[in-house]
Amino acid sequence: MARLVMKFGGTSVATIDRIRTVARHVKREVAAGYEVAVVVSAMSGKTNELVGWVREAATLHDAREYDAVVASGEQVTSGLLAITLQNMGISARSWLGWQIPIATDDAHGSARILSIDGTALTDRMAQSEVAVIAGFQGIHLPSGRLTTLGRGGSDTSAVAIAAAIGAERCDIYTDVDGVYTTDPRVVPRARRLDKIAFEEMLEMASLGAKVLQVRSVELAMVHQVRTFVRSSFEDPDAPHMGAAEAAGTLICDEEEIVANQMESQVVTGIAFARDEAQVSIRRVADKPGIAAAVFGPLADAHINVDMIVQNVSADGFTDITFTVPTADFERAKDALAKARGAIGYETLEGEADVVKVSVIGIGMRSHAGVAAEAFKALAAKGINIRAITTSEIKISILIDAAYTELAVRTLHSLYGLDS
């Protein structure tokens, strides 16, 4: 019998009534003949409340105890859903991460999954019992301590479990009905995509799209887990919900996407990230070892660097510009100020009021002039580009935040995504 993993986020399980709706979604798939595992998040707002309690108890706290507290939200939800399913006549039991077990490293608060032994799960699922799994959590086996996977970690839990048990598909139920060409709140004519390649979704997730956690997409791509993003707010009993044409977006291998569609669609989507800050160091010596002197202190401070641009050397000096997360902006400047003697720059400048806009599409591999078209269209709108980075399937530009919506709408129209 085919296996299916269903994941429900916090808004989908925010109240008992919504948990009953989730149970109806599960019942539909059980009736369709699937062996079902369900992964749940904490009820909406609960994790923030738990984190707040921890910080109120102590600003500096034991990360192991932090995990013990914040993982409890998913434990509550999994138990409530199992009870609701049982009340509907469906055999179900709840599972915590350590009971499966989901083995992780000991990076408390942002642990990474090392392995999952799905034997106990599949044995019980084969007996027509729905497994209701608390997402976001695992166990560090050597210490026996509970761990959490970081915010949005339930997506990662679901995909990892789907890979471990050989599920036919992993359905991610959320408050939107799929992945769109861009944020519909910015571009009302944005379209829902029927399919998107793993690589494209990974770029969109990492570049600002908030539908899925980046790590979950990485896992799906590595383990070839077909992932379907769909809405939990549609009527679970509607005829189309169990059909192949159910509304949503399938994230899959690019070979599964029709070849002629790939040829005609150069760009798949436009993503943007408002949480970027620009840092520039002026007149630094252009010599071997300078890049290490600049980025070494940032790495030591655990600050991720994104876009990097170095000007052509003039008179033996150069400028280096890069971006960091806005939350790390002040720390980055502080780290560079402390390392000024080793780096030898003349001035340090920064700007937090910037946005990264990205054009993404696997069709870009075989089409020339995609970047040139973007630059020309933005110039016609008077939008200045601060920095540019490219890869095989994406172009990212850094612009002033005031031009965000204009830039996104311009590029969305330019590449024919409105129609």
Cis peptide upstream of residue 101 (ω within 30 degrees of 0): yes
How far is residue 409's CA from residue 125's CA, in Å, rounded to a whole number?
Answer: 47
Burial 154-181 (b: 16+ CB within 10 A, else e): bbbbbbbbbbbbebebbbbbbebbbbbb
User: Is residue 68 within 8 Å of 98, Cβ to Cβ?
Assistant: no
CA dihedral 36, 98, 136, 133 (to 10 degrees): 20
Burial 100-135 (b: 16+ CB within 10 A, else e): bbbbbeeebeebebeebebeebbebbeeebbbbbbb
- What one-letter code names the amino acid at 102? I
Which of 163, 164, 101, 89 lies closest to 128 in space, CA to CA?
89
Q: Which residues pair with 115 in a beta bridge?
A: 103
The DSSP H or E segment spanning 147 is strand 145-148
Token pair, residue 208, equals 């600002």
Which of 162, 172, 138, 166 lies closest to 220 in space, CA to CA?
162
How far is residue 270's CA from residue 395's CA, in Å, rounded to a whole number?
Answer: 10
Output the known binding site: 7-10, 47, 74, 174-175, 180, 185, 210-211
The residue with tokens 């994230």 is 251
Output the known binding site for substrate: 47, 74
The DSSP H or E segment spanning 251 is strand 249-252
Token pair, residue 261, equals 């569609």
179's CB contacts (< 8 A; 6+ apart) are 192, 193, 196, 201, 204, 209, 211, 229, 249, 251, 269
Given the DSSP bridges, would you call strands 269-285 and 317-325 parallel, antiparallel or unpaired?
antiparallel
Output the known binding site for ATP: 7-10, 174-175, 180, 185, 210-211
